[in-house]
Every structure is written in C-alpha cells, then in structure tokens.
Amino acid sequence: MNTLFDKIWDAHVVNMIEDGPTQLYIDRLYCHEVTSPQAFDTLRDKGIKPFRADHIIAMPDHNTPSDQQEEITDPIGRKQVETLAANCEQFGIKHFAMGTKDNGIIHVVGPEKALSLPGMTIVCGDSHTSTHGAVGAIAMGIGTSEVAQVLASQCILQSKPKTMRINIEGELQNGVTAKDVALYIMSKMTTAGATGFAVEYAGSTIRNMSMEGRLTLSNLSIEMGSRAGLIAPDEITFEYLKGREYAPKGEAWDKAVEEWKKLRSDDDAVFDKEVTYQAEDIKPRITYGTNPGAGIAIDECIPTLESIPEAEQGQFLSQLQYMQFEPGEKLEGHPVDYCFLGACTNGRIEDFRAFASVVKGKKKAENVVAWLVPGSWLVRKQIIEEGIDKILEEAGFELRLPSCSACLAMNPDKVPAGKLAISTSNRNFVGRQGPGARTVLASPLVVAASAVTGVITDPRKI
Amino acid sequence: MAKQKFNIIKSTCIPIAIDNCNTDLIIPARYLASTTRDPKFFGDAFMHDLRYDAQGAPVSDFVMNLPEYSEAPHEGVHEIVVGGQNWGSGSSREHAAWAISGYGVRVVISSSFADIHRNNLLNCFVLPVIVSKEFQQELFESIAADPQTVVTVDVPNQTVTNEATGKSESFSINAYKKHCLMNALDDIDYLLTQKDKIEEYEQKA
C-alpha cells in the first residue's frame, strides 16, 4: 500500500537519524552557474573532492544570452559562467558549455537526454527541479548548502514530506494545455496549497498527456508549494526516453523498463491528501496578480474587491496596483508589449509546434516585441528540422538561442519597467522579468494568439 | 555564513507583514550573479527593491526604513523578523537566506514557510519559528503599538514568547537540528562521517 513517492524514497534511504531527518542517496545532481559557486568553495574549504563526480552534470543557463553566445558582456554574469566551467574542470564534472550542442536549460536538457530516468532521486539548486518528476522520479530543488552536501557525500538530509495526489479526469478542451491545467490547480489551491507535500499527478487526463505536457505540469509543482511533482512512468514515458543519448540500450533497456513498470502507487495506497479536478472545467488561463495563483480563465474578469475576503483585500489591491489593473476588469483585449515563449516551463518542441500552429499564415503585431527562445540546442535543432523556424519567420518572428532568457532577468532579455509581458514562464512576481516589469502568465497558445493581435487573446477565437 | 550557537534570543523585531513574500522579493535576481560569500554584500541586498527606489534612494515608508526599525540588527535589537504567511516562496535561491543572515537577523517568525527556504534558513543558522496565525497577528499588533516589543525565542525549551502580552507558544524542531543549532554544527560535517554507510548503500543498490 505504498505510494509512488514512498517506493522511490524508501529505496534511497541510507540512514535514518533518530528524531531527525533521513539521509537520502541522490542519483543525479545537476548544477548551474548561479547556485553552485559557493558550494564548490565549500569543497575547497574542506579540502575534499566530489564523492561521486560521475553522478553530476553541470551547465550554465541563467546568464546565457539568447541573441548571441559568443560572449557574455555583463562581467559579473560572465564570471559566474566561467567559474562553473573552471569548477567542473578542477573537479572532473561533465560540463555542457554555453553555445555547444549539449547546452540548454537544465530542466529541458535532463529529460531530453534521458539523464533523468524513472525511479531516480534528482536534485539541483533550482526550485524548478520538480520538472524531472514527470519521468517518475523524486526531483527536488535544494539550496546551495545542500548542493555542497551532495557534492561531498552524494546524500542530503531531508525530512520526509507528506503525500498528495492530484487527479485530473476527462478530456481537455480544445485550446487547453498542461500549462492551463497547472494554472487552474494553483488558482484553486493557492501557491501554498501543497507546501509540505510531495505531489503525484494522476487520472485519465494525465495518462493521455504527452511527455512535454507532463514536464510542464511537474515544473509548476513548486508554484503550488510542492517541492516534487511525480507522474508514474508508462508507455508514453518509455516511448519518450527510448533511444535518447543517455538512456539504457539493448538488454539493459528492457530490464530497466521491467523495473520502471513497478513504479506506480499501489491501488490501496493512502495519500495524506487527495483532490480531484475535472478537465472539462478548465479553460485557457491567464494570471492578473503577482503570484501564479492569482489567475482567471481568459474570458473571465479580475475578481471584484467585494468578492475578496476583507483580510486579503489590501494585498489584492497592491498586486493590482503593481499590475496597473482594476478590480473587475476584463483582461481579454488588453494591449501587451512583450511576448515570451520559452523557459523550463514551456521551452520544448511541443510548445513551439503549438505556437507555430497559431501564428502560421498570420503576422506578428507591430506593437509587440516577441522573444521565442528554445529550451535547448536539441529543441532548436528539432524546430529547424521540422521547418517550424520558417513558419515563425514568415509570420515575422525570430528564433533565438537557448537560454532561461526572459524568465528571470539575469541576462540581457529583460522586460523594461512598466511594460506588460504575456509569458509562458513560471513566475509573475514583482520585478521577476526586470525591475518594474509586469507579467501575465499563460500557455504557448495564448501567448501566440496575443503576439499576432497585440492584445491578450483567446486562442480559440482566432 | 556566520555560525553562532543558539540558546535564548531576546530581541526587538522587524515586522515585514507581506504574505507570500517570495525569495525574489527577499533578494532580486541581479544579486544572484555573484561568486562571493561576503555577508555584507547579501545583507545590503535584503529586501532591496522595497527598501530602495530605482535611483537607489531609500523608500521612506518601507518598514525597514522607518526610524523605529532602521537600526541595524545587533544583540537584543532587530534580530528577529516577523514575516507574513508563506514566507520565502518561489525560487530556491539560498541567497535569500544569506541576505537575511547577512543583514544580521537570527530568527524569522511566521505562520508558514515555503519548504526549500525553510531548509535554507536552517542551513544558514537562521531559525525559522512557526507560530499560529493568531500569535502572528497579535505579534504584529503588539509591535505596531510598541516597536520596542521584545520577543523571547528559547531554543532549548522550544518556546516563543511575545513579552508585550506574555503569550507563549511552543514551536517544533527535530532533536537533530536543535543539537546542530545549539552547537553550531553543519549537516555536511555529519554527512562526511557517514562515508561507510554510503558506500554500503551503493554496494546494495
């Protein structure tokens, strides 16, 4: 009567500290340039080397520019990227350098190279590590002290979270994507609704969801407060992973699949919390506030002040003041300045196919600046092989180079103060896309529709 | 980051009554592009974009800039932040914990913390204390009425007391982490003593 989470967790317990945390073995550590330099310093302070360097993969993604990758002009960002390369060189860690075919956003590259596999424990100093849970793994974001712990011992100390199953049942409506499902769940249970829990997504909607869609959904688990978002591996998972660069091959593959098939919650497994949503209730979504849970269906209005509990009205109004929106306002038809397709949330091939399907034969609105940023060089290659770049080009869009780009204002792709961006990224926090920038989160379809009309647009209507 | 042994902390507080105060607010992303471990660098960036305007001038009505709360933390003064609920949500950046620690804060009190940030605080020797919403609300009210309100955080006995009202609550922390905080011990030092067990696990796996 174990949950999927229990099965993977229990298989990785090295030691249980009495009245303390569990010492958990980590199969895969990913490092990027932002949250690793001080962890490598800790190794040097202590005069030690990584305990299992072959379990570690590193790549820069946050500081990498998306317009050119000859050099990083910002000296501080450049130093961080160079520091990662030097640390990997010193400690013998596999490093996918900026501008090479292996590089991209960690949470896109890991699954697409089958470096993240079912049954694994995976950590990275990045909250969106939850993404990798979509292959049927425990994948969690950690802090830099914990990165140092894993470097030093291949283990971390963690208290076991509670478990929650979120079931989505039925068929998604036309124009509704995994992103909308995630934004819907967040608005239902708030951005702290899953704090303290590891979430498993289940139900018929998930079983029919593509691997790319599942990765998007797991990616956004942290925006509900959950560090981990797991999906039991199935034929869709195996089909996605098979033949990829680091996937087991031949007999080893067959053996692995047999083991992976056991990675599902038992029929009588009991979760600490269980919720069920109906796919037919979900429409294309947008956010109106400064946390991802502040969202509505695209054809709804922002809540009125009276509909908000009195204790929350002050913070509701301060969010709207930052966003320059009014209570009760309809956002459909509201002009946008910037459109961003990309990030670890929606930077995969399916997202570019979706975007292209909307803009094909149309033209980018003149008032809009659009950044279309593949999540990895592999995604970019596939975009070109499928001729998607031509469709985008004919519609007036330019395909950029792999990077975290406009998700978090750590590279040149910053939204200027006061400008409104409609974005496939994961956070609409104050200043997230640049100091003073305003962000509306949405799916690739909504962003595409808005990019050709210049206003927030329901993709079902064009 | 500074490792100070914990015992009993008695201090005035800085009230930051922002719910869902995410780590992007605690330290904006541009301060992440650093390779330093200088506490002052991160302390200066704590709540930066609410403390300072785009020109770098202090925002006069932000709580940390009000005369009654602007004194830099030192023993007995402003060593405690009282935060809104869901404190530290969002990005896993430990830089947020470094900012809090670098500013001189030793305890953050809230009714709820985001999971990753809570661990990061502990690893940076800042104690997250979870209290009831009622206690949190009353504490905000006590501080508003008298900014000199003292709170006592007794780590050995795991109690937190609002000295203005005399109300006290117990808070939870596991025995292992309590021992680490009271003796300034790191998780990494513990793990380095476990090599045999780790290798044994690898043999079996």
**Confidence at residue A306, expressed as pLDDT on a 0 to 100 scale:** 97
Give the Cα separation of A195 and A224 in Å (integer).
Answer: 7
Please judge whether B192 and A41 are an interchain contact, meaning their C-beta atoms are less than 8 angstroms apart.
Answer: no
Q: What ipTM was assigned to the predicted interfaces of this complex?
A: 0.96
Cβ-based contacts of A48 with chain B (< 8 Å): 192
**Confidence at residue B2, expressed as pLDDT on a 0 to 100 scale:** 63
What's the mean per-residue pLDDT of chain A? 98
**b/e map A324-339, b = 16+ CB within 10 Å:** ebebeeebbebebbbb
Give me the residues of B, 25-44, that contact A with CB < 8 A. Answer: 25, 28-30, 32-35, 37
| Residue B24 CA, distance from chain mean position | 15
Read off the pLDDT of residues A320-331 as tens digits, 9 standing for 90 and up: 999 999 999 999
A301 pLDDT tier (thresholds 50, 70, 90): very high
Q: What's the whole-number mean pLDDT along residues A5-19?
A: 97
Which tokens in the block code for residue B5? Answer: 């042994």
B103 pLDDT tier (thresholds 50, 70, 90): very high
Read off the pLDDT of residues A58-85 as tens digits, 9 standing for 90 and up: 999 999 999 999 999 999 999 999 999 9
* Minimal-distance CA residue of chain A relative to B189: A149
Sheet of strand A273-278: strand arrangement? A228-230, A197-202, A162-169, A273-278
* Minimal-distance CA residue of chain B relative to A81: B33
From residue A100, give the alpha-carbon distance in Å to each of A33, A60, A61, A70, A367. 16, 11, 12, 11, 34
Give the Cα separation of A229 and A231 in Å (integer).
Answer: 7
| Residues contacting B190, CB < 8 A, separation 6+ | A157, B180
Q: Is it the case that residue B205 has pLDDT exceeding 90?
A: no
**Confidence at residue B1, expressed as pLDDT on a 0 to 100 scale:** 53
Please judge whether B202 and A410 are an interchain contact, meaning their C-beta atoms are less than 8 angstroms apart.
Answer: no
Q: What's the whole-number mean pLDDT along residues B157-184?
A: 97
Cβ-based contacts of A437 with chain B (< 8 Å): none
B76 pLDDT tier (thresholds 50, 70, 90): very high
Q: What percent of chain A has pLDDT over 70?
A: 100
Cβ-based contacts of B195 with chain A (< 8 Å): 51, 153
Give the Cα separation of A61 and A70 in Å (integer).
Answer: 14
| Residues contacting B195, CB < 8 A, separation 6+ | A51, A153
Give the Cα separation of A460 and A284 in Å (integer).
Answer: 9
B3 pLDDT tier (thresholds 50, 70, 90): confident
How many other β-carbons are positioned within 10 Å of the β-carbon of residue A268?
Answer: 7
What distance in Å separates residue B96's CA from the closest CA in chain A?
A: 10
Please judge whether B30 and A191 are an interchain contact, meaning their C-beta atoms are less than 8 angstroms apart.
Answer: no
Q: Is it the case that residue A299 has pLDDT exceeding 70?
A: yes
Q: What's the whole-number mean pLDDT along residues A215-223?
A: 98
Whether the predicted model's global pTM rises above the 0.80 cut: yes
Give the Cα separation of A17 and A117 in Å (integer).
Answer: 28
Which of B191, B195, B200 is the best residue to mutate to test the A interface, defined by the most A CB atoms within 10 Å of its own CB? B191
Cβ-based contacts of B112 with chain A (< 8 Å): 192, 195
Which tokens in the block code for residue A193? Answer: 């609704």
| B196 and chain A in contact, CB less than 8 A | no
Q: What's the whole-number mean pLDDT along residues A346-356?
A: 98
Give the Cα separation of A177 and A392 in Å (integer).
Answer: 20
Please judge whether B22 and A291 are an interchain contact, meaning their C-beta atoms are less than 8 angstroms apart.
Answer: yes
Which tokens in the block code for residue B93? Answer: 């950046």
Q: What's the whole-number mean pLDDT along residues B73-102?
A: 97
Give me the residues of B, 57-116, that contact A with CB < 8 A. Answer: 85-86, 89-95, 97, 112-116
Please judge whether A15 and B187 are an interchain contact, meaning their C-beta atoms are less than 8 angstroms apart.
Answer: no
Which tokens in the block code for residue A14? Answer: 């090295």
Please judge whether B86 and A126 are an interchain contact, meaning their C-beta atoms are less than 8 angstroms apart.
Answer: no
Read off the pLDDT of residues A249-291 as tens digits, 9 standing for 90 and up: 999 999 999 999 999 999 999 999 999 999 999 999 999 999 9
